[in-house]
């Protein structure tokens, strides 16, 4: 592994609304949760959890998001129990020192807070885990690359509700962005950063 310098772990949207029985349930979340827990526990002070927060009502959203939330009205704040926005309990246990960044879009980079925070502590590399590989993880990775961060995606610690698009996203990122992104397993990453 190349020298990754100062790094942070961004765990994308490992929330109860994706892990539990909701219309957005991602069955794979249970399979990757042990890897998310392992990285987050070992490196809690370097971990940032993003949370996808929906508006209270569809009409509170902007532009095309209004139509999105008209379709997914049952996932808006007026219908979804507030506790389902929270992290999986095993991950919540490491906050603090781990941090939480809430976002209103697929990408955590839109409002500038995350990039500003990472620059303020001279981060060079982001290690990405979480879900979904073909939506919010993809947006997180591409935004990190656009901001000039080197990305390590832990291939056994990302998940999606759709196998085909998960595989396509992993292949796309690994092939097209190989100069700016490394794919690794959780075990290999943790053994490298321990040594």
Decide: helix, strand or coil at residue 98. Answer: coil
What average pLDDT score do residues 76-91 get? 97
What band does 3 get if pLDDT is binned at 50, 70 and 90?
confident
For CA atoms 90, 133, 35, 183, give the dihedral sign: negative
Decide: helix, strand or coil at residue 187. Answer: helix
The number of folded domains in the chain is: 1
Cβ–Cβ under 8 Å, residues 41 and 94 = yes
Decide: helix, strand or coil at residue 159. Answer: strand
Check residue 1 and give its pLDDT. 62
State which residues form the domain around 47: 7-194
Looking at residue 118, which CATH number applies to its domain?
Answer: 3.40.50.850
Least confident of 35-44, 113-122, 167-176, 186-195: 186-195
Establish if 100 belongs to a structural domain.
yes
Mean residue pLDDT across the chain:
95
Q: What is the distance between the alpha carbons of residues 79 and 153, in angstroms, rounded to a whole number?
A: 33
- Convert the pLDDT of each residue in 40-70 to its tens digit: 999 999 999 999 999 999 999 999 999 999 9
Is the model's pLDDT at 75 over the cut of 50?
yes
Sheet with 7-12, strands from edge to edge, namely 99-103, 47-52, 7-12, 125-131, 150-159, 181-184
Establish if 1 belongs to a structural domain.
no
What average pLDDT score do residues 82-88 get? 97
What band does 195 get if pLDDT is binned at 50, 70 and 90?
very low
Establish if 24 belongs to a structural domain.
yes
pTM assigned to the model:
0.96
Q: What is the distance between the alpha carbons of residues 51 and 87, in angstroms, rounded to a whole number?
A: 8
- Convert the pLDDT of each residue in 149-179 to its tens digit: 999 999 999 999 888 999 999 999 999 999 9
């Amino acid at each position: 592994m190349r020298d990754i310098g100062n790094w942070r772990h961004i765990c994308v949207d490992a929330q109860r609304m994706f892990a539990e029985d909701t219309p957005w349930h991602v069955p794979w979340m249970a399979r990757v949760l042990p890897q998310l827990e392992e990285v987050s526990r070992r490196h809690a002070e370097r971990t940032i959890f993003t949370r996808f927060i929906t508006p209270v009502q569809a009409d509170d959203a902007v532009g095309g998001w209004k139509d999105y939330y008209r379709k997914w009205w049952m996932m808006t704040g007026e219908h979804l129990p507030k506790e389902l926005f929270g992290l999986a309990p095993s991950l919540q246990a490491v906050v603090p020192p781990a941090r939480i960044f809430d976002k209103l879009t697929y990408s955590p980079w839109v409002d500038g807070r995350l990039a500003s925070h990472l620059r303020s502590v001279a981060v060079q590399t982001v290690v990405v885990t979480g879900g979904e590989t073909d939506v919010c993880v993809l947006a997180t990775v591409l935004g990190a690359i656009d901001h000039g961060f080197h990305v390590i995606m832990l291939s056994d610690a990302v998940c999606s509700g759709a196998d085909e698009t998960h595989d396509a996203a992993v292949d796309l990122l690994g092939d097209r962005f190989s100069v700016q992104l490394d794919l690794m397993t959780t075990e290999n990453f943790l053994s490298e950063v321990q040594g």
